[in-house]
Amino acid sequence: MELVIISGASNSGKTGAIKHTIKYFLELEETRIVYVSCFRSNENRYNCKKEYLLSHINTSIEIGLHSDRNIGLVILEYKGSIIGISTYGDSLPKIKGYLNTSMNVTEYNLDVFVCGRHDNNEPLREFAEWINDFKAENVIPSKGIKNGSDEDKDRANAEKGKKLFDRIMKIIQ
Protein backbone atom coordinates (compact mmCIF):
# COMPACT_ATOMS: atom_id res chain seq x y z
CA MET A 1 0.00 0.00 0.00
CA GLU A 2 1.18 3.50 -0.79
CA LEU A 3 0.31 6.41 1.45
CA VAL A 4 -0.39 9.86 -0.04
CA ILE A 5 -0.62 12.83 2.33
CA ILE A 6 -1.72 16.42 1.89
CA SER A 7 0.25 18.26 4.54
CA GLY A 8 -0.31 21.77 5.87
CA ALA A 9 -1.24 23.96 8.78
CA SER A 10 -4.73 24.08 10.28
CA ASN A 11 -7.22 25.70 7.90
CA SER A 12 -4.88 25.47 4.91
CA GLY A 13 -7.42 23.68 2.72
CA LYS A 14 -6.43 20.05 3.29
CA THR A 15 -9.99 18.81 3.82
CA GLY A 16 -11.28 20.87 0.89
CA ALA A 17 -8.59 19.44 -1.39
CA ILE A 18 -9.47 15.90 -0.28
CA LYS A 19 -13.16 16.51 -1.04
CA HIS A 20 -12.19 17.64 -4.54
CA THR A 21 -10.07 14.50 -4.98
CA ILE A 22 -13.06 12.33 -4.07
CA LYS A 23 -15.20 14.36 -6.48
CA TYR A 24 -12.72 13.83 -9.34
CA PHE A 25 -12.85 10.07 -8.81
CA LEU A 26 -16.65 9.98 -8.54
CA GLU A 27 -16.94 11.82 -11.85
CA LEU A 28 -15.16 8.94 -13.61
CA GLU A 29 -17.45 6.27 -15.00
CA GLU A 30 -15.02 3.49 -14.01
CA THR A 31 -15.11 4.40 -10.30
CA ARG A 32 -17.12 2.16 -7.98
CA ILE A 33 -17.88 2.95 -4.34
CA VAL A 34 -16.79 0.10 -2.05
CA TYR A 35 -17.43 1.69 1.36
CA VAL A 36 -18.47 5.07 2.77
CA SER A 37 -18.49 6.06 6.42
CA CYS A 38 -20.32 9.33 5.83
CA PHE A 39 -23.63 8.12 7.18
CA ARG A 40 -24.73 7.90 10.79
CA SER A 41 -26.56 4.65 10.14
CA ASN A 42 -24.89 1.52 8.83
CA GLU A 43 -27.53 0.77 6.22
CA ASN A 44 -25.94 2.76 3.38
CA ARG A 45 -22.27 2.20 4.06
CA TYR A 46 -21.92 -0.55 1.49
CA ASN A 47 -24.75 0.46 -0.86
CA CYS A 48 -24.16 4.18 -1.26
CA LYS A 49 -25.17 5.46 -4.67
CA LYS A 50 -22.42 7.29 -6.53
CA GLU A 51 -24.77 10.14 -7.47
CA TYR A 52 -25.78 10.65 -3.84
CA LEU A 53 -22.20 10.83 -2.56
CA LEU A 54 -21.20 13.15 -5.42
CA SER A 55 -24.15 15.41 -4.60
CA HIS A 56 -23.20 15.36 -0.90
CA ILE A 57 -19.59 16.34 -1.71
CA ASN A 58 -20.61 19.02 -4.22
CA THR A 59 -22.96 20.59 -1.66
CA SER A 60 -20.24 20.45 0.98
CA ILE A 61 -17.78 22.16 -1.39
CA GLU A 62 -20.35 24.75 -2.50
CA ILE A 63 -21.26 25.92 0.99
CA GLY A 64 -17.75 25.54 2.33
CA LEU A 65 -18.53 23.15 5.15
CA HIS A 66 -15.58 22.17 7.24
CA SER A 67 -18.03 20.23 9.37
CA ASP A 68 -18.06 17.57 6.66
CA ARG A 69 -15.94 15.42 8.90
CA ASN A 70 -18.91 13.06 8.82
CA ILE A 71 -17.58 11.90 5.42
CA GLY A 72 -14.75 10.21 7.27
CA LEU A 73 -13.62 7.46 4.96
CA VAL A 74 -14.43 6.60 1.36
CA ILE A 75 -13.08 3.45 -0.26
CA LEU A 76 -13.25 3.44 -4.04
CA GLU A 77 -12.33 0.97 -6.73
CA TYR A 78 -10.94 2.38 -9.95
CA LYS A 79 -9.97 -0.06 -12.69
CA GLY A 80 -9.14 -2.75 -10.16
CA SER A 81 -7.20 -0.51 -7.75
CA ILE A 82 -8.59 0.05 -4.25
CA ILE A 83 -8.20 3.59 -2.93
CA GLY A 84 -9.01 4.69 0.62
CA ILE A 85 -9.52 8.43 1.07
CA SER A 86 -10.04 9.92 4.52
CA THR A 87 -11.10 13.44 5.44
CA TYR A 88 -9.81 12.59 8.89
CA GLY A 89 -6.13 12.49 9.62
CA ASP A 90 -3.98 15.13 11.23
CA SER A 91 -2.50 12.65 13.67
CA LEU A 92 -0.69 9.41 13.10
CA PRO A 93 -2.75 7.52 15.71
CA LYS A 94 -5.98 8.43 13.86
CA ILE A 95 -4.51 7.37 10.55
CA LYS A 96 -3.16 4.11 11.99
CA GLY A 97 -6.54 3.55 13.59
CA TYR A 98 -8.23 3.74 10.21
CA LEU A 99 -5.72 1.44 8.62
CA ASN A 100 -5.42 -1.10 11.41
CA THR A 101 -8.46 -1.32 13.61
CA SER A 102 -11.37 1.07 13.90
CA MET A 103 -12.59 0.93 10.30
CA ASN A 104 -11.16 -2.51 9.52
CA VAL A 105 -9.92 -1.17 6.18
CA THR A 106 -7.15 -3.73 6.00
CA GLU A 107 -9.76 -6.22 4.77
CA TYR A 108 -10.01 -4.17 1.58
CA ASN A 109 -6.33 -4.62 0.66
CA LEU A 110 -5.86 -0.93 -0.22
CA ASP A 111 -3.45 0.00 -2.99
CA VAL A 112 -3.42 3.66 -1.91
CA PHE A 113 -4.52 5.48 1.24
CA VAL A 114 -4.97 9.29 1.17
CA CYS A 115 -5.33 11.60 4.16
CA GLY A 116 -4.51 15.04 5.49
CA ARG A 117 -1.75 15.71 7.96
CA HIS A 118 -0.65 18.74 9.97
CA ASP A 119 2.84 19.65 8.84
CA ASN A 120 4.06 20.70 12.26
CA ASN A 121 4.87 17.10 13.16
CA GLU A 122 7.36 16.20 10.45
CA PRO A 123 5.12 13.84 8.47
CA LEU A 124 7.94 12.54 6.31
CA ARG A 125 10.04 11.27 9.20
CA GLU A 126 7.00 10.03 11.09
CA PHE A 127 5.61 8.06 8.16
CA ALA A 128 9.01 6.82 7.01
CA GLU A 129 9.39 5.18 10.41
CA TRP A 130 5.99 3.52 10.00
CA ILE A 131 5.96 2.59 6.31
CA ASN A 132 9.32 1.34 5.05
CA ASP A 133 9.06 2.51 1.46
CA PHE A 134 7.24 5.80 2.08
CA LYS A 135 8.05 8.24 -0.73
CA ALA A 136 8.66 11.95 -0.27
CA GLU A 137 6.84 12.70 -3.53
CA ASN A 138 3.68 11.35 -1.89
CA VAL A 139 3.47 14.43 0.33
CA ILE A 140 1.48 17.21 -1.33
CA PRO A 141 1.91 20.60 0.40
CA SER A 142 -1.17 22.62 1.29
CA LYS A 143 -0.65 26.36 1.58
CA GLY A 144 -3.68 28.31 2.75
CA ILE A 145 -4.94 31.57 1.27
CA LYS A 146 -5.17 34.08 4.12
CA ASN A 147 -7.09 36.98 2.56
CA GLY A 148 -8.78 35.46 -0.46
CA SER A 149 -12.46 35.17 -1.23
CA ASP A 150 -14.31 31.90 -0.75
CA GLU A 151 -14.09 31.39 -4.51
CA ASP A 152 -10.30 31.90 -4.44
CA LYS A 153 -9.96 29.41 -1.58
CA ASP A 154 -12.13 26.86 -3.36
CA ARG A 155 -10.16 27.29 -6.58
CA ALA A 156 -6.92 26.70 -4.63
CA ASN A 157 -8.46 23.63 -2.94
CA ALA A 158 -9.56 22.29 -6.33
CA GLU A 159 -5.99 22.70 -7.64
CA LYS A 160 -4.55 20.86 -4.63
CA GLY A 161 -7.22 18.19 -5.03
CA LYS A 162 -6.16 17.75 -8.65
CA LYS A 163 -2.53 17.32 -7.55
CA LEU A 164 -3.65 14.60 -5.12
CA PHE A 165 -5.74 12.96 -7.84
CA ASP A 166 -2.85 13.07 -10.32
CA ARG A 167 -0.46 11.54 -7.76
CA ILE A 168 -2.89 8.71 -7.04
CA MET A 169 -3.37 8.07 -10.76
CA LYS A 170 0.39 7.91 -11.25
CA ILE A 171 0.64 5.30 -8.50
CA ILE A 172 -2.17 3.05 -9.74
CA GLN A 173 -1.50 3.15 -13.48
Would you kindly state where each structural domain of the chain is located, as residue ranges?
Answer: 2-172
Prediction pTM value: 0.84
pLDDT at 91: 66
Q: Which residue stretches of the chain have pLDDT < 50? A: 39, 41-44, 68-69, 101-103
pLDDT at 69: 44
At 37, the amino acid letter reads S
pLDDT at 170: 96
Question: CA nearest 3: which of 141, 135, 91, 105?
Answer: 135
Cα three-residue angle 144-145-149, rounded to 5 degrees = 140
Task: State how far the Cα of 158 lies from the Cα of 115, in Å rounded to an integer.
Answer: 16
Surface-to-core class of residue 69, CB atoms within 10 Å of its CB (0-12 exposed, 13-18 middle, 19+ buried): exposed
pLDDT tens string 45-74: 556 778 878 887 887 777 765 554 456 788
